[in-house]
């Protein structure tokens, strides 16, 4: 057995590559995927041909045209990309052990037998590249990384793009990643970078040599110790995370930016989020509303409530928060809004209420009505039954 346990695959410019695969006229050309079909939108993904001109995620459409004359724009089709993600996953799982689909363009596989050695892993990666190209599409390429744990495999997978293959293990650590900035590492935010700097950890080499117990103190969590032990090439497995909440946010198209229109979009977001909450058999004990007025600081509030999965309950809280926000947002346009249902627990663990009366784990009459609404909407189509007026704003990410 060799030192490698995990193979991490990172699809190269995945959204743009799917569009190039489907439209041969786009191959070899700079392509940008946008969130809106107008000059007010921004780039959410770019092909490597576009990246060579400086076009990247977050670049406005106007700036992308200036940086790269002749660039081709395509509206995002997220459902299409998910279908391609599943096609890639099916191919990978036939040739190796697919452990996790980490995101729409990232996959984690387990290595065993000869593939735990560098030659064996290299042969497996070549096989996977050929299989994806042949069975999904020649434009679909990925960079691969291997390591003794998921963190090092992920870092290795980002060292050589596009279409690369790299490895990290005890023999080349930390020298192989010493050139990276602290916040180049996955999981190191700018705030955590600043905290590390204040603790005297100023570069990746120093972080790799840190005492794991000191890392726990800096992170103020056991995750710091797990992170550093992973950098030190220990076999640290991923832990199951507890779901923190259910929510939706939306960057608003110009036609939806007036507060009166955005409010109706927020009602639609709540109906979607609470339906997902019920689908998973959960209840939420807090509701949050966020909005970003153009030219003003963002506004947000959170409200505690009795644990519930009732759409009408969250709509009432939402209406009260919009009334509270109204003096601040009156006359403004909103760039984005978001709702979040948090303090989540399972319905089966909810205690009863003698005053209602309500038995433990029993749904209220309003919650039962919401469940019936879910059934009808699943059977006859989303929006067949709605609780009052809302304004669907699916956008381009839900096309395809």
Active site residues: 106
Which residue's entry shows tokens 């609404």? 373
Q: Provide the token pair at 239.
A: 């832990």
Non-local (6+) Cβ contacts of 337 within 8 A are 249, 250, 252, 262, 265, 266, 269, 289, 290, 291, 292
- Cα–Cα distance for residue pair 200/177, rounded to 1 Å: 19
Helix locations, the chain, DSSP H = 14-22, 48-51, 61-67, 78-95, 118-135, 150-157, 190-198, 204-208, 212-219, 222-231, 259-279, 311-329, 365-380
In this structure, the strands spanning 72-75 and 31-34 are: parallel
Task: Write phi, then psi, for 167 (nearest 5 degrees).
Answer: -140, 150
In this structure, the strands spanning 6-11 and 106-110 are: antiparallel
Query: Is it true that the peptide bond before 257 is cis, omega within 30 degrees of 0?
Result: no
């Amino acid at each position: 057995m060799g030192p490698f346990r995990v193979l991490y695959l990172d699809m190269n410019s995945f959204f743009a590559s799917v569009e190039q695969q489907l439209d041969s006229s786009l191959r070899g050309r700079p392509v940008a995927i946008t969130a809106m079909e107008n000059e007010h939108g921004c780039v959410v993904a770019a092909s490597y041909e576009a990246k060579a001109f400086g076009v990247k995620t977050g670049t406005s459409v106007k700036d992308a045209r200036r940086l790269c004359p002749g660039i081709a724009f395509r509206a995002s089709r997220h459902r299409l990309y998910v279908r391609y993600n599943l096609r890639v996953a099916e191919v990978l799982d036939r040739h190796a052990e697919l452990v996790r689909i980490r995101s729409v363009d990232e996959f984690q596989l387990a290595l065993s037998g000869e593939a735990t050695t560098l030659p064996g892993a290299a042969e497996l990666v070549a096989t996977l590249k050929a299989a994806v190209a042949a069975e999904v599409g020649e434009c679909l390429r990925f960079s691969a990384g291997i390591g003794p744990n998921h963190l090092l495999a992920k870092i290795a997978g980002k060292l050589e793009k596009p279409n690369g293959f790299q490895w990290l293990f005890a023999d080349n650590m930390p020298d192989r990643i010493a050139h990276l900035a602290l916040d180049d590492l996955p999981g190191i935010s700018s705030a955590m970078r600043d905290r590390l700097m204040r603790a005297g950890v100023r570069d990746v080499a120093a972080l790799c040599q840190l005492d794991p117990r000191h890392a726990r103190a800096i992170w103020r969590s056991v995750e710091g110790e797990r992170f550093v032990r992973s950098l030190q090439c220990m076999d640290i497995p991923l832990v199951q995370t507890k779901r923190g909440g259910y929510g939706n946010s939306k960057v608003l198209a110009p036609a939806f930016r007036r507060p009166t229109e955005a409010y109706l979009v927020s009602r639609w977001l709540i109906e979607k989020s609470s339906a997902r909450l019920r689908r998973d058999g959960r209840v939420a004990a807090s509701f949050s509303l966020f909005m970003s007025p153009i030219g003003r600081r963002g506004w947000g509030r959170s409200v505690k409530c009795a644990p519930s999965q009732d759409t009408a309950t969250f709509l009432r809280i939402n209406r009260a928060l919009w009334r509270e926000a109204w003096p601040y947002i009156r006359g403004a346009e909103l760039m984005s809004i978001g709702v979040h249902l948090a303090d989540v627990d399972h319905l089966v663990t909810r205690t009863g209420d003698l005053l209602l009366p309500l038995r433990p784990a029993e749904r209220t009459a309003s919650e039962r009505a919401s469940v019936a609404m879910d059934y009808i909407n699943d059977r006859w189509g989303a929006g067949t039954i709605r609780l009052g007026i809302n304004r669907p704003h699916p956008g381009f990410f839900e096309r395809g």
